[in-house]
């Protein structure tokens, strides 16, 4: 018997557990994780905990879009506050948690315009930033192809597997993490719930569903979640003298569906991470062939950006699942009496899912906050069209947006 059972040990689930332990040190919490913490998407991403929304609004950035911007910043900075608190408490070094900011980089005239427009909006919002010329961004990245850059200081760059393991390691009695313990189902039992796992059952009056797209397999949010994968490749370690610029930097693309690139510096040499490509996979699984196909795309993006690294190959390739909603809102709230959802990461899951986890914990414990009031105002995820229209629509939409991102 515990007070709260949390299903899922990613950003949302572990952040919910952390928030509960801060609100009530006596609350008994069980976090059930189907796999091993750090081996799922929360540990295998590009490591950007981003503080500002990605998208540039198409209007004059007044009224509604300004409110959306502020809302997004509140969500993302709440996540960063929780993460920073743990980093300080545990003395995490910069190799795990680095508040170094991020660059957004352009590779075309359209990308340049996008960065200029976004910089203008950041000025209007009073957000710190710096535009960089082609030469200045080359001095950072060592790449001759970028045509401009925009630096935003508020993003945290993490080593994702070390970060999420660190969050798990912060949890202390009476919070317990059970790995390799998938929740199979749950049913009403008296005033609470009985959660079944292969190892046994657990009683809890409250459950927080923090298993992202897999929440659907429990019958929640049917026809409302889009299961999208994204893909990454990481080079073998190379001699740092082969690439100019700084030894450590992280860059997202000017256009949202473009290519994220990071340079990671280790004692054994440097590595480049390339993340690009999205695919719609309603079965929440991808094939090795899909990973290899995305890998060939990564190879092309890598060789174009880093001609001096010709001959450096990719050592690792992988893919991971995300759950998006049509109207970009999380699958959040009390979805049955005593059952709370913190799912539907909508891509920026490092910050969005962390914040959803915090808000779900506060809702479950009846704790009021500005973040909680914001989540209470969010719309429910919109229904997707019936199949096969969702599949056809999602594939066309992703293909069109990737095409629009061009070389970015
Ligand atoms: C290659 C790649 C790069 C990315 N880069 C970034 C980035 O730089 N910044 C960013 O913000 N986002 C990034 N993302 C997205 C981000 O990783 C996800 O949005 C994020 O992991 C979502 O967090 P979550 O806690 O909601 O879900 P997850 O991280 O998916 O965690 C859910 C957990 O639930 C567990 N689970 C599922 N079913 C059950 C069950 N029945 N019982 C128990 N446990 C269960 C899973 O094993 C999993 O560990 C990236 C994703 C990928 C794949």
Q: Which domains does the chain have, with CATH numbers?
A: 4-96+155-224+326-377 (3.50.50.60)
Query: What would the mean pLDDT of 170-192 be, rounded to a whole number?
Result: 96
Q: Which of 55-69, 81-95, 288-302 has the lowest mean pLDDT?
A: 55-69
**290-295: long-range contacts, CB 8 A cutoff, minimum separation 24:** 290/229, 290/231, 290/319, 291/231, 291/317, 291/318, 291/319, 292/317, 294/231, 294/233, 294/319, 295/231, 295/233
Token representation of residue 36: 């091993």
Residue 10, beta-bridge partner list: none
The mean predicted confidence, pLDDT, of the chain is 95
Give phi and psi for 348, each to the nearest 5: -75, 55
Q: Please return the burial class of 289, using the count of CB atoms within 10 Å of its CB with bins 0-12, 13-18 and 19+.
A: exposed
pLDDT at 56 over 80: no
Tokens 């952390």 belong to residue: 18
Query: What would the mean pLDDT of 252-278 be, rounded to a whole number?
Result: 94
Token representation of residue 246: 């700084």
Question: How far apart are the two ends of the chain, measured CA to CA in Å?
Answer: 51
Query: What would the mean pLDDT of 77-97 be, rounded to a whole number?
Result: 97
Query: What would the mean pLDDT of 270-280 be, rounded to a whole number?
Result: 96
Per-residue pLDDT tens digits for 127-169: 999 999 999 999 999 999 999 999 999 999 999 999 999 999 9
User: What pLDDT score does 57 carry?
Assistant: 56
Q: Please return the burial class of 313, using the count of CB atoms within 10 Å of its CB with bins 0-12, 13-18 and 19+.
A: exposed
**Calpha distance 37→9 (Å, rounded):** 6
**Residue 65 pLDDT grade (very low, low, confident, very high; cuts 50, 70, 90):** confident
Q: 392 vs 120, which has greater pLDDT?
A: 120
Residue 278, beta-bridge partner list: 230
By the 8 A CB rule, do 74 and 374 touch?
yes
Kindly state the percentage of the chain with pLDDT values over 70: 98
- Backbone Cα Rg of the chain: 21
**Which residue, judged by its Cα, is nearest atom 32 of ligand 1?**
211
Question: Of ligand 1's atoms, which has the minimum distance to the CA of residue 211?
Answer: 34
Longest dimension (CA), the chain: 67
CA of 38 to the centre of ligand 1 (A): 9
**Calpha distance 382→222 (Å, rounded):** 11
CA of 371 to the centre of ligand 1 (A): 21
List of residues 6+ apart from 74 with CB closer than 8 A: 370, 371, 374
pLDDT at 358 over 90: yes
To test ligand 1's pocket by mutation, which of 6, 8, 19 has the most ligand atoms within 8 angstroms of CB? 8
**Calpha distance 115→121 (Å, rounded):** 10
User: What pLDDT score does 406 carry?
Assistant: 74
Question: Of ligand 1's atoms, which has the minimum distance to the CA of residue 232?
Answer: 1
SS3 307: helix
User: What pLDDT score does 150 carry?
Assistant: 98
**Residue 60 pLDDT grade (very low, low, confident, very high; cuts 50, 70, 90):** low
To test ligand 1's pocket by mutation, which of 5, 34, 41 has the most ligand atoms within 8 angstroms of CB? 41
List of residues 6+ apart from 408 with CB closer than 8 A: 106, 107, 108, 110, 111, 253, 254, 255, 257, 258, 259
pLDDT at 297 over 80: yes
Q: Which of 265, 249, 349, 251 is nearest to 301 (CA)?
A: 251
User: What pLDDT score does 46 carry?
Assistant: 97
Query: What would the mean pLDDT of 191-205 be, rounded to a whole number?
Result: 97
Q: Which of 261, 202, 293 is nearest to 408 (CA)?
A: 261
Question: Of ligand 1's atoms, which has the minimum distance to the CA of residue 356?
Answer: 26
**Calpha distance 118→114 (Å, rounded):** 6
pLDDT at 170 over 70: yes
**Residue 395 pLDDT grade (very low, low, confident, very high; cuts 50, 70, 90):** confident
Ligand 1 pocket: which residues have CB below 6 Å? 7-13, 32-35, 40-42, 45-48, 50, 182-183, 210-212, 214, 230, 232, 275, 320, 322, 345, 347-351, 353
Question: Of ligand 1's atoms, which has the minimum distance to the CA of residue 37?
Answer: 49
Query: What would the mean pLDDT of 217-244 be, rounded to a whole number?
Result: 97
Query: What would the mean pLDDT of 227-246 be, rounded to a whole number?
Result: 97
CA of 35 to the centre of ligand 1 (A): 12
**Residue 62 pLDDT grade (very low, low, confident, very high; cuts 50, 70, 90):** low
How many helices, marked H, and strands, marked E, lie in the chain?
9, 20
């Amino acid at each position: 018997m515990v007070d709260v059972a949390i299903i899922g040990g990613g950003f949302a689930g572990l952040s919910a557990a952390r928030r509960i332990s801060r609100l009530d040190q006596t609350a008994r919490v069980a976090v059930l994780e189907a796999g091993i913490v750090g081996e799922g998407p929360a540990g295998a991403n590009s490591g950007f905990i981003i503080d500002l929304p990605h998208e540039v609004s198409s209007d004059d950035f007044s009224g509604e879009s300004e409110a959306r911007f502020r809302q997004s910043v509140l969500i993302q900075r709440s996540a960063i506050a929780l993460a920073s608190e743990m980093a300080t408490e545990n003395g995490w070094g910069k190799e795990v948690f680095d508040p170094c900011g991020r660059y957004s980089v352009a590779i075309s005239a359209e990308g340049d315009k996008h960065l200029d427009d976004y910089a203008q909006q950041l000025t209007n919002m009073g957000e710190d930033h710096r535009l960089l010329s082609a030469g200045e961004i080359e001095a950072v990245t060592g790449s001759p192809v970028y045509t401009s850059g925009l630096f935003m200081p508020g993003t945290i760059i993490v080593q994702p597997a070390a970060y999420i393991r660190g969050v798990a390691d912060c949890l202390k009695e009476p919070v317990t993490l059970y790995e390799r313990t998938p929740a199979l189902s749950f049913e009403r039992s008296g005033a609470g719930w009985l959660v079944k796992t292969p190892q046994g059952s657990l009683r809890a009056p409250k459950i927080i569903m923090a298993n992202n797209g897999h929440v659907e397999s429990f019958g929640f949010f049917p026809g409302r979640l889009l299961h999208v994968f994204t893909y990454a490749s990481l080079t073998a370690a190379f001699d740092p003298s082969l690439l100019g610029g700084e030894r450590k930097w992280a860059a997202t693309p000017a256009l949202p569906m473009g290519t994220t690139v990071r340079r990671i510096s280790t004692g054994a040499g440097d590595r480049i991470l390339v993340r690009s490509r999205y695919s719609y996979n309603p079965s929440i699984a991808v094939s090795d062939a899909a990973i290899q196909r995305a890998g060939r795309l990564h190879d092309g993006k890598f060789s174009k950006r880093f001609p001096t690294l010709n001959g450096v190959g990719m050592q690792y390739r992988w893919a991971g699942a995300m759950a998006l909603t049509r109207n970009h809102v999380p699958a959040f709230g009390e979805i049955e009496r005593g059952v709370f959802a913190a799912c539907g990461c909508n891509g920026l899951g490092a910050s969005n899912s962390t914040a959803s986890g915090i808000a779900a914990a506060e809702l479950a414990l009846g704790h009021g906050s500005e973040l909680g009031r914001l989540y209470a105002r969010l719309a429910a995820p919109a229904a997707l069209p019936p199949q096969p229209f969702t599949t056809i629509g999602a594939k066309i939409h992703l293909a069109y947006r990737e095409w629009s991102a061009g070389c970015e």
